[in-house]
Structure formats: structure tokens, C-alpha cells
Structure 1
């Protein structure tokens, strides 16, 4: 199978590409810069130069491929609305090309906010009006009715590993700046987590095994208590650890405060059964204790 991958040089996709190649697929990776192109080529993939705004180029690449893994996204939180609009345009473009072909289209979504007061599952279908990315996921799933093998992978908020620049890196940076590693309230609320290499193997397996309209959860750990995360950050940075009241979360953490304070247990039981997926890499706490977050990026 020839698979077109957007965001191919990115944090998750750069773990997906080797998995696809190992499985015997050919990979065409989208790269928007010379540096990204060099990274994609080093992974062993062919390179298509361009970006997510080049819809004609994306359509042509999808038309020449047997499937699409769409992981490219602008994660600048100051441009969330524009990023979601671009993402929807890309999904619609891929849907037009793949309609009636039963070729796979896999996109990324997230698990935060799926359920309140209980463990979220792959069966949860949040209201599309809740967030533009939720609406984009729903639009992708609806492509199953048009003959597209549509797949949505909901990733844990923490996709960790050496070189991670996401939420956990932000929390470590805040702790370094404030001189204390904090958690909110009693710290019993949990974050799901997955190692990027386990996430990569899940996506590659989904391209081969998942049927149209499938939702998968890339969560190796159902939920890591935020207090344990804060304690591990404290150990890695040799900083004290303390609780802060919920009404001070934004003041201490900034915009990430309510996210870190959220309680989001999420199971991946159905995903594991469907794909025979067995995460084997480090847990989040093991990566924190390994020192991957102890120095500034």
C-alpha cells in the first residue's frame, strides 16, 4: 500500500512512518520546509513538498495513494479557529478524492472532554458543536457513508517520550519558572498518556485493520494522577511540590491550568482488542524519571 502522510516530520507522524515502512508499505510524506523534507527522507519515505493550504497538491497526492494518514495540524493555540478551519478543508479535500474507493483516511483527534464523571470509551460520541475539532472528527466518520474507510484516532493529551515538546514539557517549564512543581487540589484527577512509539504502532495497525467509521483510543495509560506527574517533575528538576487551589490554577499555570486540573480517565480496551495493540514503551512517569523533561527545550 502507498500511504500519504501529512505532518510526516512531526512528533507523532515521525513515529508512524517507520512503522508503516516496517509493515511493508510505501510512504509519501508531506513536508513544508527543507528541514522537514530532510527529516522525512531520513525516515525512508518519499517527500512531497507543500503544506496544508495546498489543497490541489493534497488532492493529487491522495489520488495517487492507497490511503491517507492525516496528522498535520497547526497547534498554535492562539490560532485555534483558523487551524480547525484549515483542518476541515483538508479533510473535505481528501474525502472528495477517496469517495467510493474504500481507501483509508485516518485523522487525529483527542480524548479530553469526552465524558464527565466516568471513564471515556471509544463508543463516546461528543456533540459536534462542542469544539471544531470534534466537528472535524464527526465529518471524517461520516465519510464512511461515501465509501471512505474513515478512521479517527483520539490521542491522549500527553504523547510522551524523549524530545517531547507538548503539555508535559509545558508543565516542566512552568515548574522551572515558578520554582515549584504544582498540582491542583488533591491531585487525584488523571491524565491519559501514551508513548509516541506506541502511538506510532497503533496508527500503522489501524491502516491495516480498522474498518470504516472506526474510533480508536491511543491511550496506553488510562489515567496518571496529576499529583504523581507533579511529583515526578519535582524529582527531575529538584523542586518542591505543592498543591494549589482550583481558583488559582489559571494564575499559576496559565491557559493550561484547567486542562491539567481536568479529570479524564480514558480506556483503550476496544482499541487493544481490535488491533491486538500492546503498548510496550515507557510510562509517562518513567520518562519523567529518565530526565527527558529536566532541561529547557
Structure 2
């Protein structure tokens, strides 16, 4: 299968690219620079120049592909609404290119717009929390799932807050960097709020399984079943850097991380992966958990 992959040079996308190549697929990866082109070629991926702000570049690649995996998303969490708007335009462009072709597209999202999971665990039936700071992020989710009615084998994968491993991640390096700068590993309030996680290579395997086998309109949560608390994450960072883990206020967290990330770091977000395990036979294979990896594994400073 010739697969167009957005976010191919990114953290999750590059892991997905490697799994696709290993599985025998031809991969065309979205790239914005000469450095990106070189990185993709080194992985056996064909570079395609463009970005999410250039819908025409996405349409061109989509029209010549047998399927799409969309992992790209911005990183300016202080303009969360703007990032979602860009993502939605990119997604609708690619969906239009696939209409009535019964080709697969696997779209990435997260569970934040479901709101705070409290003491529970959200499965795929959990409703959108319209009062959530992140509610706007549901729009691409709904657009992708509804595309199943337009002759598109659309699938959504919701990644947990923490995709970890290989020293990367969206959030962990930010938290480690803040602790290095201040000499303190901070958590908000009591730090009892918990969030699910998954190892990046296990996530990549799920994308390939979804591309190859998922039914149109499928929605899957990913989690390894280990839901670390914010305090545990901070303590693991503290062990790594040999700095204390301390409680802080939401206001100080806003000053440190910005409003968007402070909201992430203060909420419970626990999700169940039972559905993808049952329907696609996916299961996490990592032999360590996120706390071990932060404290003594791939994130260890000076290793």
C-alpha cells in the first residue's frame, strides 16, 4: 500500500513511518525542509514537500495514495483553537480527496475534550464535555468519523496524554526542561490527578493495524493500562535530575507552561484500550512503564 503520512518527521509520525516500512508499505511523508527530506530518506520514506497550512500540497499527496495516516498537529498550546482550525482544514482537504474511493485514513486525536475522567476510565462511548477547555478539538474527530458515510474508510485513534519512549514525547521534555531551569519538578495541587500512557512503538503498531484492518467509522483509545499520577511523574523527573518534586498552584503552572499545558497537567485523563485489543488484536509490548523510563531510562540526563 502507498501510504501518505503527515507528521512523518515528528515524534509519533516517525515511529509510525518505521513500522509501515517494516510492514512492507511504501511511505510518502510530509516534509517542510531539506533536513526533513533527509530524515525521511534515511528511514526509507519518500519526502513530499508541504505542510498543514498548504491544503493543495496535502490534496496532491492524498490523490496519489492508497491510504493516509494523519499524525501532524501543531505545538502552540497557547493558541489551541488556532491549531485545531489548521488541523480541521487539512483534514477536510484530505477527506475530500478520498471521497467515494473506500480508501483508509487514520486520524489522530486525544481524549482531552472528554473532560476530566475523575476516578473513572473513559472508553470510546464517553460523551464530549462541551465545557472543557479542549472542547474545540472534538471537531476533527467528528469530521473524520462522519466521513465513513462518504465512501471513506475513516478511523480515529485517540492517543493518551503521555506517549513516551526514546527520549521524546509532547509533554515530558517540556516538564523536564522546566525542572532543569527552575531546579524544581512541579505538580499542581496534590498531584493526585492521573493520565494514561503508551509506549511510542506500541502506538505505531496500533496505527498500522488500524490502517490495514479497521472498519470504516472505527474509534479507538490507546493506553498501556498504567495511569501515573501527576505527582508520580514529577517525582520521576526529580529522580532523574536529582531535584525535589513540589506542589505548585495552577497560576504558577500557567506562568511556567502556559494556560493550555497547565490545563493538561491538572486534569485526570484515564482511558481504556479494551476495544482495540478486542477488535484488532493490539496489545502493548513495552517491558517498562513511563515512570521507569523518565527516571532511569531514555530520558535520563547524562546517560
Provide the TM-score with structure 1 as the length reference: 0.92
Rounded to whole Å, the distance in 1 between the matches of 2:202 and 2:126 is 22
Rounded to whole Å, the distance in 1 between the matches of 2:263 and 2:220 is 25
Secondary structure (helix, strand or coil) at the match of 2:294 reads: helix
2:284 is the counterpart of 1:279 = yes
Tell me which residue corresponds to 1:293.
Answer: 299
Rounded to whole Å, the distance in 2 between the matches of 1:252 and 1:93 is 36
Tell me which residue corresponds to 1:187.
Answer: 191
Secondary structure (helix, strand or coil) at the match of 1:159 reads: strand
C-alpha displacement of 1:127: 5.6
Unaligned runs of 5+ in 1: none
In structure 2, relative to structure 1, the CA distance for the partners of 1:142 and 1:13 (3 Å cut) is same
Tell me which residue corresponds to 2:143.
Answer: 139
Rounded to whole Å, the distance in 2 between the matches of 1:88 and 1:263 is 26
Residue by residue over 1:11-30, the C-alpha shift from the partner in whole angstroms, topping out at 9 and shown as x without a partner, is 00100011112222111111
1:163-242 matched pairs, under 5 angstroms: 163-242=167-246
C-alpha displacement of 1:3: 0.7
**Match 2:155 to one of 139, 151, 167:** 151
Q: Please report the RMSD computed on the Cα atoms of aligned residues, expressed in angstroms.
A: 2.1
Secondary structure (helix, strand or coil) at the match of 2:75 reads: coil
Rounded to whole Å, the distance in 1 between the matches of 2:243 and 2:16 is 35
In structure 2, relative to structure 1, the CA distance for the partners of 1:127 and 1:247 (3 Å cut) is closer
C-alpha displacement of 1:178: 2.5
Q: Check the 8 A contact 1:70/1:106 in 2, yes or no.
A: yes
Rounded to whole Å, the distance in 2 between the matches of 1:102 and 1:267 is 28
C-alpha displacement of 1:77: 2.1
Secondary structure (helix, strand or coil) at the match of 1:278 reads: coil
Unaligned runs of 5+ in 2: none
Q: Check the 8 A contact 1:187/1:227 in 2, yes or no.
A: yes
C-alpha displacement of 1:98: 0.8
Tell me which residue corresponds to 1:57.
Answer: 57
Residue by residue over 1:48-102, the C-alpha shift from the partner in whole angstroms, topping out at 9 and shown as x without a partner, is 1222233222212111111111112222224433322221111111111111111
Identify which range, 85-94 or 51-60, moves more after superposition. 51-60
Q: Number of residues paired by the alignment?
A: 296
Residue by residue over 1:21-50, the C-alpha shift from the partner in whole angstroms, topping out at 9 and shown as x without a partner, is 222211111111011111111111112122
Tell me which residue corresponds to 1:261.
Answer: 266
Secondary structure (helix, strand or coil) at the match of 1:12 reads: helix
Rounded to whole Å, the distance in 1 between the matches of 2:265 and 2:156 is 24
Moved over 4 A (4+): 127-130, 245-249, 251-254
In structure 2, relative to structure 1, the CA distance for the partners of 1:274 and 1:203 (3 Å cut) is same
Tell me which residue corresponds to 2:38.
Answer: 38
Rounded to whole Å, the distance in 2 between the matches of 1:80 and 1:257 is 13
Rounded to whole Å, the distance in 2 between the matches of 1:250 and 1:61 is 39
Provide the TM-score with structure 2 as the length reference: 0.90
